[in-house]
Structure 1
Amino acid sequence: MSQFNEVTQDLIQQIESIVGEDYCYVGERINSDFARDEMPIYGAHMPDVVCEPANTEEVSVVMRACYEANVPVTVRGAGTGLVSGSVAVEGGVMLCTMRMDKILEYDMNNLFVRVQPGVRLCDLAADALEHDLMYPPDPGEKTASVGGNVSTNAGGMRAVKYGTTRDYVLAMTVVLADGEILQIGRPVTKTSTGYSLLHLMIGSEGTLGVITELTLRLIPNPKENASFLLPFVDIHAAMASVPKIKLSGLDPQSIEFMERDIVDSSAAHTDNYIIPTEVQGQEAGAYILVTFDGNDIDEIFQRAETLAELADEAGAFDTLVLEGSEKRAVWELRGAFLTAIEAEEKLIDEMDVVVPVDSITEFLEFVHSEGEKVGLRIRSFGHAGDGNLHIYCCSQTLDEEEFLIRNKKVMDASYAKCAELNGQVSGEHGIGAAKATYLAQSVGDTQMRLMAGIKAAFDPKGILNPGKVV
């Protein structure tokens, strides 16, 4: 029996009076997209009500009404997640923040920006550039909301140099489960002031509070950047080069890896064949993609000369320079990897584990072997510089029931191997509902008990995003 109450007509009318009838949806007015995220294998769960508040005050009143009614609330941004984190698995009210999409203020003296959570990453990045500033976090899904990025501590391509979203959040406004409005953090870059509630909220996936405003750190925009493609005979040789690149003092902005099969799939899907499959008369089986940035293009190419020497010693066929339209085309191809997999495969599931960089090859080999045992195709790419791997279990022919049975065998073995290698269940996508079991297995009873205690302190009725993380 559910610990929550059902949504009543009285609660619906309360929510309508708060956000307006045009921004409160029930029944057939709820778009079916709200029942799932971008990984449909975890199932669809339709909320009873979807509302779109316009500001912190409206969120506060909605939360107070739901708290008093003991009705669950699931916070949702753009819905681009991959772990069922923004899906209403217990029904109830879905609170969508995408109407709160304003960039509120730039502080050019202190280098920060205030935004609402529904601002999309691509829009913030582009707007910051208009001010000659960079918002460094660069997750692959550019249409994701910034609030969602903060809720999952999204990482991305530039994490090897600039860190993850967590490193750029200075302050936030949060509405707690009972409707209380809380200001957390300050627009300063250092603090040693008690427990960091700010960092508890970052990565909490909507289970501790509703983020309604963010103050984000910016940096001066590097004036120049260039990318370099290193083709190798196979993934072993490619990954062996990564520690050497990291230890070289070259300060790369990103170091990505890609296997040949996903490059071929993405090229066919996008009709973009910019990445050569044969280099210096040799077939490439894997690639490392490196980007340098800075304010002096000559200095960048001095670093590139050192990179080329390291790559040659590591067995790369060449160091291909990517500038202008070639660079854009290669990164567009990289950005289409997931959509290419989705287009080719009928059923997919994903893990985004993070392991020590020198364990990447061992982990990839293990997962591929587990896939072969049960008859599932394994596709992989990811962030070689920080060990964050995106690995997909795929099938074009199985029915869903059989796929799930085989997939579970691969996932169980792979997450156990990840723990053995001192890795983590998620590098940037979060836990959601999909990976909660693996989180518990990975961190153990004591840590789960402590996390559950934190959850209870913030949300004593457990109404915020139930069924997720803890």
Structure 2
Amino acid sequence: MPEYHQLTPELVSQLAEIVGVDNCLTGEDIAEDYAHDEMPIYGTRMPEAVCLPATTEEVAAIMKLCYENSIPVTVRGAGTGLVGGSTPLYGGVVLCTMRMDKILAYDMDNLNVRVQPGVRLCDLAADALDHDLMYPPDPGEKTGSLGGNVSTNAGGMRAVKYGTTRDYVLAMTVVLPTGEIQHIGRAVTKTSSGYSLLHLMIGSEGTLGVICELTLKLVPNPREDMSFILPFENIESAIESVPKIKLAGLNPQSIEFMERDIVDTSAEATGNHVFPTEVNGCEAGAYILVTLDGNDEDEIFMRAERLAEIADGQGAFDTLVVQDPSQKESVWAARSSFLTVIESDTDLIDEMDVVVPVNVIADFLKYVHEVGEQNGTRIRSFGHAGDGNLHIYCCANDADQDEFLQQSAKVMEAAYAKCAELGGQISGEHGIGHAKKDYLRASLGETPINLMAGIKAVFDPKCILNPGKICS
């Protein structure tokens, strides 16, 4: 790594001039949250200063000053990441974009919206609905910032139909590590105009530039949607139904899976017993949750009849319709609570969000559970069955952290190796950060990692921007 310099009182004073004294935090004024993301088990490090800019010009001035003085800068949004991506490993400055939180303008003719990076996903989703539009990306953490979503190419539950965040970014304004402001992409739906700098920036986790404005694609809001719970005897039979559902032309908005274990824990913690444990005299061991959307209720019911036929043929105990708005809200509140529930009843957590081909989900889950049992590690899992993105957690209570991390590492190494063998990828939506760097290298090999490092060097010759992440 390059040699970095520490902030001097003079440099801190200059940063305060840029953003205002109240928005330049040092010493005891820096909250401990700025030392890590939502997974502090991956390490913490207090920055020397936290800057909260309100404009692109302020971001540019911060980056120019830090670049000229070799000060490392870690970009941070809402801090909801799960791979240590916003941990300031080398101290320096944390540049937090959450004051840049304005929805700037809608273009109703071209179905897009301009926003600042600190706008939270839940706020844009609600505001778009007021315009009878939908912003389709739907990651589980609704309070995450849009800048963070774009930086990790967040996916979510609607990806099976609508795609990931990458598919909705048309243009952005970024500040390069040198402080230069660049406008990349255009508010058009097609391009064949050289290398895509836009798509290099998406998913780069704050290592290539600081996102300061986004132009995002919107779609007309579907008039109707219905969800359906399919209870199965076990996870294998549940997952086997997914390819059949996808091949039936039902065009589902989402296809989620969950095992009985996490459903029971969620119900106990929240009091929300919306997923039935016994159906038609049979004990459910796993569930598929499907949502269909469209502009006509009758048309959705026609597709639902086909869904019920498939479910029955695959051994589902029933196809339970979730149509009432309050019931639908309860079902999706339960699904959204899974990670929070795991965190609340677990002292130590390590996580992976691998993505594998849909037809090997059950095989992969079975393998990981076996490896966890062999290593004395409890495994909890749920995820996006429609696109093969699995959220798998190594969990422990009343354990020594170092010992837990050693056991978890054994599970992770075996799981990631199996993932690669099955044609999968290390991360479907959470990113790499610094927690998954070694697994990425082992999965891809040296040449792809060196190519990424070469791209990083072109954008950031001094490696001051979010150092220690992905490939640096």
TM-score calculated relative to the size of structure 2: 0.99
1:402 and 2:399 correspond: no
Deviation at 1:50, TM superposition (A): 0.3
Q: Distance in 1 between matches of 2:108 and 2:347?
A: 48
Whether 1:461 aligns to 2:452 is no
| Aligned residue pairs, count | 470
How far the C-alpha of 1:2 sits from its partner, in A, is 6.1
Q: Distance in 2 between matches of 1:41 and 1:246?
A: 37
Determine whether 1:369 maps to 2:400.
Answer: no
Name the structure 2 match of 1:72. Answer: 72
**Which residue in 1 is equivalent to 2:114?**
114
Counterpart of 2:227 in structure 1: which amino acid?
S
- The reply to whether residue 205 of structure 1 matches residue 205 of structure 2 is yes
Partner of 1:327: 328
1:270 is matched with which residue? 270
Aligned counterpart, 1:187:
187
Partner of 2:57: 57
1:28-107 mapped onto 2 (5 Å cutoff):
28-107=28-107
Distance in 2 between the 1:10 and 1:62 partners? 14
* CA–CA separation in structure 2 for the residues paired with 1:20 and 1:344: 41
Q: Is the 8 A contact 2:2 2:463 kept in 1?
A: no
1:421-436 map, 5 Å: 421-436=422-437
CA displacement at 1:36 relative to structure 2? 1.1
Q: What are the residue-to-residue correspondences of 1:135-150 with 2, within 5 Å? A: 135-150=135-150
Partner of 1:310: 310
Structure 1 residues 111-190: aligned runs within 5 Å: 111-190=111-190
Post-superposition offset of 1:51: 0.5
Give the match for residue 287 of structure 2. Answer: 287
Q: TM-score, normalised by structure 1?
A: 0.99
SS for the counterpart of 2:304 is helix
Partner of 1:192, secondary structure, is coil
Letter in 1 for 2:121: L
User: Which consecutive unaligned segments of at least 5 residues does structure 1 have?
Assistant: none
Cα separation, 2, equivalents of 1:139 and 1:375: 31
Alignment of 1:340-355 (within 5 A): 340-355=341-356
CA drift of 1:397 comes to 2.4
Partner of 2:252: 252
Cα RMSD between the aligned structures? 0.7
What residue number does 1:243 align with?
A: 243
Q: What is aligned with 1:412?
A: 413
Aligned AA (2:11):
L
Task: Spell out, residue by residue over 1:108-142, the C-alpha distance to the aligned partner (whole angstroms, 9 max, x if none).
Answer: 00000000000000000000000000000000000
SS state of the match for residue 428, structure 1? coil
Q: Is 1:385 equivalent to 2:405 in the alignment?
A: no
Find the aligned partners of 2:251 and 2:94 in 1 and give their Cα distance.
Answer: 43
Write the letter of the residue equivalent to 1:388: N
In percent, how many aligned pairs have the same letter?
70
Q: Is the 8 A contact 2:37 2:86 kept in 1?
A: yes
Gaps of 5+ in 2: none
Residue 94 of structure 1 aligns to a residue whose secondary structure is strand
SS at the partner of 1:198? helix
CA distance in 2, matches of 1:3, 1:337: 42
Preserved contact between residue 2 and residue 462 of structure 2 (Cα < 8 Å): no
- 3-state SS of 2:12 partner: helix
SS of the residue 2:200 aligns to: helix
Aligned to 1:230: 230
**Following TM superposition, by how much is the alpha carbon of 1:398 offset from its aligned partner in structure 2, in angstroms?**
1.4
Provide the rounded CA distance (Å) in 2 between the counterparts of 1:177 and 1:348: 34
Q: Supply the AA of the counterpart residue of 1:218.
A: L
Amino acid at match of 2:237: A
Q: Mapping of 1:8-47 within 5 angstroms?
A: 8-47=8-47
Report the Cα distance in structure 2 between the residues aligned to 1:329 and 1:458, rounded to whole angstroms.
46
* Structure 1 runs (4+) greater than 4 angstroms displaced: none
In structure 1, C-alpha distance between the alignment counterparts of 2:235 and 2:465, rounded to whole Å:
42
Secondary structure, counterpart of 1:229 in structure 2? strand
Work out the CA distance in 2 between the residues paired with 1:239 and 1:396: 29
Q: Deviations over 1:196-216 (max 9, x none)?
A: 000000000000000000000
SS at match of 2:445: helix
Distance 1:344 1:102 in 2: 36
Q: What is the SS of the residue equivalent to 1:331?
A: helix
